Amino acid sequence: MNSETIRARYGPWALVAGSSEGLGAAFAHAAAARGLHVALVARRSDALDRVAKEIRDEYGVETRQLVADLSEEAAPGQIAAAVADLEIGMFISNAASEPQGPFLDLPLAEHLFAIDVNCRAPLALAHHLGQPMVARKRGSIVIVTSLGGLCGLPVFSSYGATKAFGWNLGECLWDEMAPHGVDALSFVVGSTRTPNLERSGAPEAHLETAVAPQIVAANLFEVLDQGPTQYSLPEVEEAARGLFAMPRKEAVGFFSQQNHAAFPSRAD
Amino acid sequence: MNSETIRARYGPWALVAGSSEGLGAAFAHAAAARGLHVALVARRSDALDRVAKEIRDEYGVETRQLVADLSEEAAPGQIAAAVADLEIGMFISNAASEPQGPFLDLPLAEHLFAIDVNCRAPLALAHHLGQPMVARKRGSIVIVTSLGGLCGLPVFSSYGATKAFGWNLGECLWDEMAPHGVDALSFVVGSTRTPNLERSGAPEAHLETAVAPQIVAANLFEVLDQGPTQYSLPEVEEAARGLFAMPRKEAVGFFSQQNHAAFPSRAD
């Protein structure tokens, strides 16, 4: 879709949750490159301001920075209130917490934090921001999810489960909102070379296969109206098709092998 | 698996979350019929006591009733503490909230309640009860999920998403816990004739296709050690295979058509 089509179909502002770095920052850049003003949501004010300044300088669009901890119950409502004067035509749900390690070895609080950030906050933001979109009969909701949502994801138990949650939710919103002029979708991303991945301790060989966030972000803007599920790359779609066709034991086994090798825990 | 194998492989007690009626009560009966003592968890004390008395009278096993609201953050820890003197060898996560209606029409609080009951509580209980199982090198964790977790589930948006969460989590636990002697699995249930379904307003034709909870519960005890995903009935497995093979648009469309027909909202 070209920039004019995007602005006309969805409206003038995009809101990107989790946009201080990595894929979220790339989504924000990609939205601004298409002429959208961008509301940026993240926990770290300094990183947010840096991304916002880059975007204003490079594309001449407006930005609004919203410092928020999405694990807090009140955050989605506060964010919605802080952008109530703007027409948010696109909501990209990208923020995610990714606890790494065997399920029982990680503190329960880390898993619950991931549920709050990856399930409660995206659902609540879609609920708050979706209402005015449906009223205006235009808008777009993008739930960023992962191949790891397709089946059990050893080493990243709660993250995988939350990504399955988002994948399912985005597909349902596609069906329910389409009659109201709103394009929703789940956008499935494979391994992306983000600061998060670099901090994970993954070996160089794994990092080298990871794709640049800019490519993933650009591809999203080609498929916004194609839901219910779209993939960041043809290779990711191919991998998903393969996994869907496998007996579940094999699908989980694939991730088990890959993740225990790439992200060894102390017990391995 | 016969009763002796079950008791030897897993231990003397089963804990069933959401066991005051319907499928949960059927799981509790099926566990007791196999000689397991049963800890019953539900919100309604009177219903819990009734099921517990039935079970004691019919099978001569012990019961322990735990009245708890699983939407409360503290509930899983309190439940774990209240059974710390028992060897819980089997945890069946069956409790679920099922908000019915278009995503945006339902109050946000109902969706968040479903996340708390269907995601946070099962994960927390698996974390609390899984630790001693792994230490003893025996046990079983059953995450009850639904075909609706396979793709977006129109009319039951948050329920479908939470069932995707559980499905994914159970599969991961299967992989991570198998080396420690614990059998985990996701148990996928199709339409079951429960009091919940009868209260849903589904037409008689839909109710008639729903399977008796007793059949579903008995089948679980045949597949406890067969994870990562097992199905309540051959028809449910066949349906899942069909849905996995479909383009996502068709899979979501299948549930959209079925659910808008069976569970009409005021807007339909």
Sequence ranges of the domains in chain B = 3-262
Contact A229 B248 (CB under 8 A): yes
Inter-chain touch B115–A119, beta carbons under 8 Å: yes
Interface of A with B in 54-93 (CB under 8 A): none
Q: Do A152 and B160 touch (CB under 8 A)?
A: no
Residue A96: per-residue pLDDT:
95
Could you list the active site residues of A?
159
Best mutation target among B97, B169, B257 (most A Cβ atoms within 10 Å) is B169
Closest alpha carbon within chain A to B254: A175
| Structure confidence at residue A163 (pLDDT) | 98
What is the pLDDT at residue B204? 84
Does the pLDDT of residue B268 top 60, yes or no? no
Q: Tell me if A102 sits within 8 A of A149, measured CB to CB.
A: no
User: Which chain A residues are closer than 8 Å to B124 by Cβ?
Assistant: 108, 111-112
Catalytic residues of B: 159
**Is the separation of the CB atoms in B86 and B13 below 8 Å?**
yes
| ipTM computed for the complex | 0.97
Residue B219 has φ and ψ, to the nearest 5°, of -65, -30
Question: Closest chain B residue to A186 measured between Cα atoms?
Answer: B152
Mean pLDDT (chain B, rounded): 95
Restricting to A residues 194-223, those with a Cβ less than 8 Å away from any Cβ of B are none
B172-199: average pLDDT: 93
Say if the Cβ atoms of A165 and B162 lie within 8 Å: yes
Give A59 to chain B, closest Cα distance, Å: 34
CA distance B124 to chain A (A): 7
Closest-CA distance, A187 to chain B, in angstroms, reads 12
Q: How far is A175 from chain B (nearest CA, A)?
A: 7
Chain B: residue whose CA lies nearest to A153: B172
With the C-alpha atoms ordered A105, A109, A111, A114, is the resulting torsion angle positive or negative?
negative
**Residue B216 pLDDT more than 50?**
yes
* Superfamily for the B3-262 domain: NAD(P)-binding Rossmann-like Domain (3.40.50.720)
C-alpha B255/C-alpha B258 separation (Å) is 5
Q: What is the mean pLDDT of residues B176-180?
A: 98
B149–A168 C-beta distance less than 8 A: yes
Give me the pLDDT at residue A195, please: 85
Which DSSP symbol is given to B188?
E
Q: Is A120 on the interface with B (CB under 8 A)?
A: yes
Per-residue pLDDT tens listing for chain A (268 residues): 889 999 999 999 999 999 998 999 999 999 999 999 999 999 999 999 999 999 999 999 999 999 999 999 999 999 999 999 999 999 999 999 999 999 999 999 999 999 999 999 999 999 999 999 999 999 999 999 999 999 999 999 999 999 999 999 999 999 999 999 999 999 999 888 888 888 888 888 888 888 899 999 999 999 999 999 999 999 999 999 999 999 999 999 999 999 988 887 755 4
Question: pTM score, two decimals?
Answer: 0.97
What pLDDT sits at residue B29?
98
Residue-wise burial string across B110-142, b where 16 or more C-beta atoms lie within 10 A, e elsewhere: ebbbbbbbbbbbbbbbbbbbbebbbeeebbbbb
Contact B165 A165 (CB under 8 A): yes
B195: CB partners within 8 A, 6+ apart: B21, B22
Q: Taking each helix axis from N to C terminus, what angle separates A157-177 and A121-136, rounded to the nearest 10 degrees? A: 10
